[in-house]
Structure 1
Amino acid sequence: MRLFLRLIVLLLVLLGVAVAVLVHYIKNPHVPAYQTPDEVIYLEQWDEQARQLYYYTPQGTTLKGLRYDWLVALEQPFNQNAFIAADNLGRYGLLFDPAQQPSDSNPGNLPVGLARHQDTDSGIWYVDITCAACHTGELRYQGTAVRIDGGAGMHALASTVPTLKGGSFGQALGASMALTYYNPSKFKRFAAKVLGDNSANNKAYKRLRRDFKQVLDAFSDTAINDWRRGLYPTEEGPGRTDAFGRIANTVFGDRIDAKNYHIANAPVNYPHLWDIWKFDWVQWNGSAMQPMARNIGEALGVGASLTLFSDSGQPVPINERYASSVRVHDMYAIEETLKTLKPPRWPEALFGAIDFKMASKGRALFEENCAYCHAPRPQPVDKRLAPSRDPEWKLRVVPTRIIGTDPNTADNIADHRFDVRRLGWTRGQLSDQDVRLVGDGTLGDVDLASVSSAKGLAYLTAYVEDRAYRDAGIKGADKARMDGFGLPIGVRELRGYKARPLDGIWATPPFLHNGSVPNLFQLLSPVSERDTKFHIGNLEFDPKQVGYRTEAFEGSFVLDTAISGNSNRGHEFRDGCRQGGVIGRYLSPVERWALIEYLKVLGHSDLEQQLTPVPAKPWTPGPDCDALISRQEAN
């Protein structure tokens, strides 16, 4: 009996320690302190109306059913301060302007990309995460914030997996919701804000607790599922997410069959959006063609509702199937607005004057070393995927065996397979969908018991898109226009990465598709000169190296390039054979600085006109390594 009591006491002590540790990290998450900028500078990439439309136009995502007024009313876990306060959400990388005020499109005065939409049946307003949340950047310098519209977000948003150190918006939101629900006084204050004069109504109060608990359970179930299955072993940290992996796990695992979950160990940066409407193919691996289908797939991954099966697991009647919360009119408005977005212009008054003599030399070096892959190639009308798109840029997709950068993203997209037979598709039905398989088999080769993520998403988004158009009364020429230039839902699977044009690239650190190189100077250096570990989460900009500052600071995230998915190899300039990721000759430090100076002006014709002609050496493929090895073996 005494031994039993000792064991009980020991268990209680251990439980108390665990609770104390949990409380400590909830109160003190591993995130940077928020510094309110003195001002926010906008770089005249578009007008204010376009900017606000982009920031706060909903896509139809639902964030587990979280309601807008709940988020506005929610308190922080251990105080009564608003959860949405800038000094709280700003710690997770979400963007505020200290001068912003509530508006019709942003009544809660939330950060960029947190919008709302109203459900047409219930009238409930839901929190909606827009594309602006991930595709808006900010650079800080000497107290000033430079907003990069369409740039790469540096927030820690996606992860809900519980970790002791915390550090993501998802974890913080879950903690605030849990402590609100289980703390009676906190919930009463919450209910008073949400229900107003109706908060004394016991029936309304109980209904609010029930509905709130359902959303809290949904967050908890996702966190436990992701943690238990170990789905995301490579920590993403600020500015990265395994986009394809998360979308695939959400769509194929959560919604169709738990056997479809796959390890997602390939975090990528959020790509910048200016000029993307001109690209022949989009996504890091050049796998998607149609704008509307791309946006619907992204919205499904971020949490748009989708009706496939009943609560009992049976397919719902055909007249209910594929109904979703995606908002095609709003998606089209965002896509059209993005066509007006210009690359950011280097702010000389803040970051320093451009050295045009050095930039002139850099232009010649760019033509020799970079233009072969990165220069846009406008296509004549008869060779365009979309004849009405002018210009249409054909972009190179460089195989991973050549570019040498971390292959996880491209390999996972090509290799992961999913069983979608529960959807009951037949090849006859699929042939009626506006999907074009490019370069890798035909519909007859598609195995619905083992379909790739790209193909599976293409067909699923085709059904969702058709249903959304039908519900919105859109058809014919209007549908083709809203699809984007009348394009079909093209899909291809390449083990490579797209070499996009570099206009405005200076404003999008860190670099490579997985954010594993902190600045442009290191990107132009041999791998041996690149940092193998560096700290991110600090928005402070280094205008000389051209990247975020990476020294240690309180609350930083350490990006370790030795971890799977984080490799900083490849895209290397080094003398010797062009293999193993070596794509160009060694560049001296002076040549690197010259190239960086040119990248500051690239894409702005008035700046490029100030450059002086410098002869460029022709691009060469480098030494013939196979012949060199043969000669060495012969000797």
Structure 2
Amino acid sequence: MRIIGRVLLAILLLALVSVGVIAWYTAHPDLPDYSPPEQLHLLPQWDEQARQTYYYTPQGTQVKGLRYEWFTALEQPFSAEKFASPANLARFGFLIDPVQLKPVAERAPDPRNPGNLPVGFARHQDGESGAWYLDITCSACHTGELRYRNQALRIDGGAAMHSIASTVPTLRGGAFGQALGASLAATYYVPWKFDRFAREVLGSRYPKGKSALRRDVRNLLGKLMGTAWNDTHRGLYPTLEGPGRADAFGRIANSVFGDGIDPANYRVANAPVSYPQVWDIWKFDWVQWNGSAMQPMARNIGEALGVGATLRMFGSDGQPVLGDERYASSVRLRDLYTLEETLKQLKPPTWPAELFGEIDLQRASLGRALFQANCVYCHGPHVKAPGTDGYLAEGRVPEWRMKLVPVSEVGTDPTTADNIAAHQYDLRALQWDTAELKRMNVQLVGSDAGQIDLGKVSAAKGLAYVTSFVEGRAYRDAGIGEAEQQRMNGYGLPIGVQELRAYKARPLDGIWATPPYLHNGSVPNLFQLLSPVAERDSQFYVGTFEYDPKFAGYRTERFPGGFLYKTSVTGNSNRGHEFRDGCRKDGVIGRALSPEERWALVEYLKVLGNPDYESRLQDVPTQPWRPGPKCE
């Protein structure tokens, strides 16, 4: 008996130590310290009204039902400092203005951002309960910042460098969701913390509403812990996303098909992608990294569902919602339309010579000739004239045809494209009628809705029909007629779906401001992107905003709180899109470029599409594009 007791005691002590270690790293995440820049610079990409509309217009998303006033009242686990203080949230990579660090009396109040939160942290009010929910908007992930010599440059519509996505606890504790759960748990379990929290949230309703508030906080904490446990023990996200990346498609599919329908629909999501820049996307014929989506409204509804908009596909009796009752959600169509229209005003960022140094015009002139010879074939833009063959949206001028390059040709990491094409889901529980699906405003390229096997539906097709039902229900609830629906959907486009094992070669205006590169962020700067794979870093640190204007990328050396990106991990490969001599295979897309030619291309990519610089470049003869010999 004494031996059994010692064994049990040892197990208990080991469990306590493990819990203590996890609690320590959760409460003390391994993150970079935040140091405010001397000055934040804004580029003339649009006017200030459009910028603020983009930053703080809600989409209808929720963080597991987290109230806005709860979020702003939460304390850090081992401190009375607010979790939502600008300096603390900036450590996770969220973007703030240094002015936000000033005391309340020294800064003007912002009615669109009453909680003094970072870019993309908005709020919306529930129409039934009147509660205000924290609403994470598209600008949280599609706004970037570059630092150089203690100056900060905001890149509206660029790529974020935060760690918002991860739901799986790690010892480095660097994810926003993990730290939020730790603060919520500390608030719930530590009596004096909860009392301070309740006083601030309830105001004049304290202490009467304290018990109900405690119950609601417990329910929210249970949801967060349940998600963390589910994603961890199922091993859903084995490839760490780190700062600036998320397996967006995989997470949306797991949320809608796994959480919402059947746990058997969970799929391993091991293909994180960088957040793409969003300027000019209204001109694209197809969007998403793999060119799988067409209609702007459906794309934005899918994004809102992935970030946490509520969706009700089953009733309280467990039976599927049918007919016109499908599918009530919290997405806000008018706000999504406002965001889409506002983004049409967004211009690509222009190179700030006063911050990063003047352009070498002679080198950039050579770079323009090299770009025409080696890059424009894929990256265009390829402008379609209205009324010509393949023109998709009458009224959209210009319309750019995206070249979708097969994975077998470009050779970049195939995991994202493969997962989207190969993962299948059982949607029979929703009791869809294939005859009804054929009548819906969904256009399947290369397949027929009448032939769909509802037991084996791809993610792209399944999400297309879900968003179509959500869209229709939301339009009916809002009393929006057919003509206005066509306008809000975007040029009357249907919800188009195509499934190709390919990646989109988008136009490259402003590309200098969007490191790291390739769809999975596996190449740190533009110079390496133009180099053979053997000359690219096989691992490097990410999470810093420090910019290297020579190479056009983030600094990659080790720094406190940095995330080590390893290209050997599944989904992280840096191969492909390679300029190297020899026949065209294994991702070799062009001839080898000398170092001087690479520098010339980098210099031109800093000013591509910028008329102020383009007009000052010299004409250099452009060599004809040579595809190179095919391999046997």
Q: Same fold, TM exceeding 0.5?
A: yes
1:406 touches 1:566 (CA, 8 Å); kept in 2? yes
Match 2:617 to one of 597, 611, 627 = 611
Give distance in 1, aligned partners of 2:428 and 2:22: 42
State the partner residue of 2:127.
120
Q: Which residue of 2 aligns with 1:178?
A: 185
**1:630 alignment counterpart:** none
- Which residue number in structure 2 is paired with residue 297 of structure 1? 302
Q: In the alignment, what sits opposite 2:435?
A: 428
Q: Quote the offset at 1:93 in angstroms.
A: 0.5
Ranges in structure 1 where 5+ consecutive residues have no aligned partner: 627-635
Instruction: Give the CA deviation at 1:321.
Output: 2.9
Contact 2:321 2:327 in 1 (8 A): no
**Residues of 1 paired with 2:528 and 2:343: CA distance?**
31
Q: In 2, Cα distance between the equivalents of 1:136 and 1:67? A: 24
Task: Give the Cα separation in 2 of the matches to 1:318 and 1:578.
Answer: 53
Q: Distance in 1 between matches of 2:99 and 2:624?
A: 50
Which residue does the alignment assign to 1:623?
A: 629
Query: In 2, Cα distance between the equivalents of 1:548 and 1:305?
Result: 36
Contact kept in structure 1, 2:585 and 2:630, CA below 8 Å: no
The letter of the residue matching 1:67 is: R
- The CA distance in 2 between the partners of 1:402 and 1:232, in whole Å, is 28
Amino acid at match of 1:116: R
2:189 aligned with 1:188, yes or no?
Answer: no
**SS at the partner of 1:596?**
helix
Match of residue 91 from structure 2: 91
User: Are the counterparts in 2 of residues 161 and 227 from structure 1 also a CA contact under 8 Å?
Assistant: yes
Deviation at 1:12, TM superposition (A): 2.9
Alpha-carbon deviation of 1:536? 0.4
Superposition pairs for residues 300-319 of structure 1, below 5 Å? 300-316=305-321, 318=323
Looking at structure 2, the residues matched to 19 and 296 of structure 1 have their Cα atoms a distance apart, in angstroms, of 39
Listed one character per residue, the Cα deviations across residues 576-633 of structure 1 (whole Å, up to 9, x for unaligned) are 011110001111111111001111111111210111100000111102323xxxxxxx
Within 5 Å, give how 1:362-373 maps onto structure 2. 362-373=367-378
User: Is the partner of 1:381 in helix, strand or coil?
Assistant: coil
Alignment partner for residue 593 of structure 1, among 582, 594, 599?
599
CA deviations 1:282-309 (Å, max 9, x no partner) are 0000000000000001111111011111
The answer to whether the 8 A contact 2:321-2:430 is kept is no
1:216-250: CA deviation from partner (whole Å, max 9, x where unpaired): 11111111100011000000000000010000000
| Structure 1 residue 319, shift from structure 2 partner | 5.3
Q: 1:631: which partner in 2?
A: none
- Cα deviation, 1:78-124, whole Å, max 9, x if unaligned, reads 10001011221111100000124541111101000111000000000
Q: CA deviation at 1:197?
A: 2.1
**C-alpha displacement of 1:215:** 1.0
Question: Following the alignment from structure 1 to structure 2, what is the Cα–Cα distance between the partners of residues 486 and 312?
Answer: 37
TM-fit CA distance, 1:427: 1.3
Q: How does 1:122-271 map to 2 (within 5 A)?
A: 122-201=129-208, 204-271=209-276
**Residue matched to 1:73:** 73
Give distance in 1, aligned partners of 2:8 and 2:336.
Answer: 57
Question: C-alpha separation between the residues in 1 aligned to 2:574 and 2:600?
Answer: 23
Alpha-carbon distance, 1:443 to partner: 1.2
Aligned residue number for residue 629 of structure 1:
none
Q: Are the aligned partners of 2:260 and 2:313 in contact in 1 as well (CA < 8 Å)?
A: yes
Letter paired with 2:169: P
Q: After TM superposition, give the deviation of residue 317 of structure 1 in Å.
A: 5.9
Report whether the alignment pairs 1:14 with 2:14: yes
When structure 1 is superposed on structure 2, of 376-385 and 120-129 the one drifting more is 376-385
Contact 2:326 2:469 in 1 (8 A): no
5 Å matches for 1:173-572?
Answer: 173-201=180-208, 204-316=209-321, 318=323, 320-383=325-388, 384-438=391-445, 440-572=446-578
**Structure 1 residue identity aligned to 2:517:** F
CA–CA separation in structure 1 for the residues paired with 2:444 and 2:12: 59
Deviates most, 294-303 or 9-18: 9-18
Q: How far does the alpha carbon of each residue in 1:472-492 deviate from its partner, in whole angstroms, 9 at most, with x for none?
A: 111121110000011000000
AA aligned opposite 2:275: Y
Residue 110 of structure 1 aligns to a residue whose secondary structure is: coil
CA distance in 1, matches of 2:360, 2:501: 39
Which piece of structure 1 moves more, 271-280 or 617-626? 617-626
- The answer to whether the 8 Å contact 2:27/2:182 transfers is no
Question: Conserved in 2, the CA contact under 8 Å of 1:115 and 1:129?
Answer: yes
| Identity percentage of aligned residues | 63
Give the match for residue 106 of structure 1. Answer: 113
Residues 133 and 6 of structure 1: CA distance in aligned 2, closer, same or farther (over 3 Å):
same
C-alpha displacement at 1:527, in angstroms? 0.2
Per-residue CA deviations over 1:489-533 (Å, capped at 9, x if unaligned) read 000000000000000000000000000000001000000000000
Q: Distance in 1 between matches of 2:403 and 2:118?
A: 36
SS of 1:188's equivalent in the other structure is: helix
- For 2:538 and 2:621, how far apart are their aligned partners in 1? 36
SS at structure 2 position matched to 1:382: coil
| Paired residue type of 1:361 | L
Partners in 2 of 1:303 and 1:167 — Cα distance? 21
List runs of 5+ in structure 2 lacking aligned partners: 101-107
- Code of the aligned partner of 1:506: W
How far off its partner does 1:26 sit? Answer: 2.3
Distance 1:214 1:132 in 2: 28
Secondary structure in 2 aligned to 1:26? Answer: helix
Q: Which amino acid aligns with 1:59?
A: Q
RMSD: 1.0
In structure 2, relative to structure 1, the CA distance for the partners of 1:410 and 1:317 (3 Å cut) is closer
Contact 1:296 1:461 in 2 (8 A): yes
Distance (Å, rounded) in 2 between the aligned partners of 1:313 and 1:37: 53
Q: How does 1:49-60 map to 2 (within 5 A)?
A: 49-60=49-60
Q: Secondary structure in 2 aligned to 1:601? A: coil
- In 1, the alpha carbon distance for the partners of 2:544 and 2:313 equals 42
Whichever residue aligns with residue 150 of structure 1, its letter is G
Give 3-state SS (helix, strand or coil) of 1:514's partner: coil
CA contact (8 A) 1:26 1:77 kept: no
